[in-house]
Amino acid sequence: MTSSKSNTTLRELRNTYIAKGNVSATTCFVSHAHGAVITDVEGRDYIDFAGGIAVMNVGHSHPKVVAAIKEQADKFTHTCFMVSPYEGPVILAEKLCQAVPGTSPKAAMFANCGVEAVENAVKIARYFTKRPAIIAFEGGFHGRTLMGMTLTSKIAPYKAGLGPFAPEVYRMPFANCYRCPYDREYPQCKTACADKLEEFFVSYVGADQTAAIIVEPVQGEGGFIVPPKEYFAKLKTICEKHGILMIADEVQTGIGRTGAMFAMEHYGVEADLTTIAKSLAAGMPLSAVVGKKEIMDCVHPSGIGGTYNGNPVACAAALAVFDIFEQEDLLAKAQHLGNLLKEGLLGLQEKFSLIGDVRGIGPMMAIELVKDKHSKEPATAETKTLVKFCFERGLIILGCGTYGNVIRFLMPLVTTEAQLRQGLDLLQEGFASL
Ligand SMILES: Cc1ncc(COP(=O)(O)O)c(C=O)c1O
Q: Rounded distance, CA 172 to CA 370, Å? A: 25
Instruction: Compute, in angstroms, the gap from residue 114 CA to the centroid of ligand 1.
Output: 5
Q: Which of 23, 113, 142 to mutate to test the pocket of ligand 1 (most atoms within 8 A of CB)?
A: 142
Q: Both ends of the chain: CA-CA distance in Å?
A: 32
Q: For every one of its 434 residues, what pLDDT tens digit does the chain have, with 9 covering 90 and above?
A: 557 899 999 999 999 999 999 999 999 999 999 999 999 999 999 999 999 999 999 999 999 999 999 999 999 999 999 999 999 999 999 999 999 999 999 999 999 999 999 999 999 999 999 999 999 999 999 999 999 999 999 999 999 999 999 999 999 999 999 999 999 999 999 999 999 999 999 999 999 999 999 999 999 999 999 999 999 999 999 999 999 999 999 999 999 999 999 999 999 999 999 999 999 999 999 999 999 999 999 999 999 999 999 999 999 999 999 999 999 999 999 999 999 999 999 999 999 999 999 999 999 999 999 999 999 999 999 999 999 999 999 999 999 999 999 999 999 999 999 999 999 999 999 999 99
Q: Rounded distance, CA 140 to CA 222, Å? A: 6
Q: What is the residue with the minimal CA distance to atom 16 of ligand 1?
A: 252
Amino acid at 331: L
Q: Which of 151, 218, 252, 284 to mutate to test the pocket of ligand 1 (most atoms within 8 A of CB)?
A: 252
- Shortest-distance atom of ligand 1 to CA 144: 11
The total of other beta-carbon atoms located within 10 Å of residue 36's CB is 24
DSSP string, 284-342: S--EEEEEEHHHHTTSPTTSS--TTTT-HHHHHHHHHHHHHHHHTTHHHHHHHHHHHHH
- Shortest-distance atom of ligand 1 to CA 145: 11
Q: What pLDDT, on a 0 to 100 scale, did the predictor assign at position 2? A: 58
Which residues does ligand 1 sit against, CB inside 6 Å? 53, 113-115, 118, 141-143, 216, 220-221, 249, 251-252, 277
Could you give the percent of the chain with pLDDT greater than 70? 100
Q: Rounded distance, CA 328 to CA 319, Å? A: 14
Mind spelling out the 3-state secondary structure of 233-263? HHHHHHHHHHCCEEEEECCCCCCCCCCCCCH
Q: What is the residue with the minimal CA distance to atom 8 of ligand 1?
A: 114
Q: What pLDDT, on a 0 to 100 scale, did the predictor assign at position 198? A: 96
Q: What pLDDT, on a 0 to 100 scale, did the predictor assign at position 4? A: 86
Q: Which of 278, 286, 406 to mutate to test the pocket of ligand 1 (most atoms within 8 A of CB)?
A: 278
Coil, strand or helix at 108: strand
Instruction: Compute, in angstroms, the gap from residue 219 CA to the centroid of ligand 1.
Output: 11
Q: What is the overall mean pLDDT for the chain? A: 97
Q: Rounded distance, CA 410 to CA 396, Å? A: 10
Residues 6+ apart with CB under 8 A from 378: 368, 369, 370, 371, 401, 403, 404, 405
Q: Rounded distance, CA 1 to CA 6, Å? A: 8
Instruction: Compute, in angstroms, the gap from residue 142 CA to the centroid of ligand 1.
Output: 5
Q: Rounded distance, CA 216 to CA 220, Å? A: 7
Instruction: Compute, in angstroms, the gap from residue 50 CA to the centroid of ligand 1.
Output: 14
Distance set, CA 64 to CA 69, 99, 171, 331, 395 (Å): 9, 20, 42, 17, 26
pLDDT digits (tens, 9 = 90+) for 188-204: 999 999 999 999 999 99
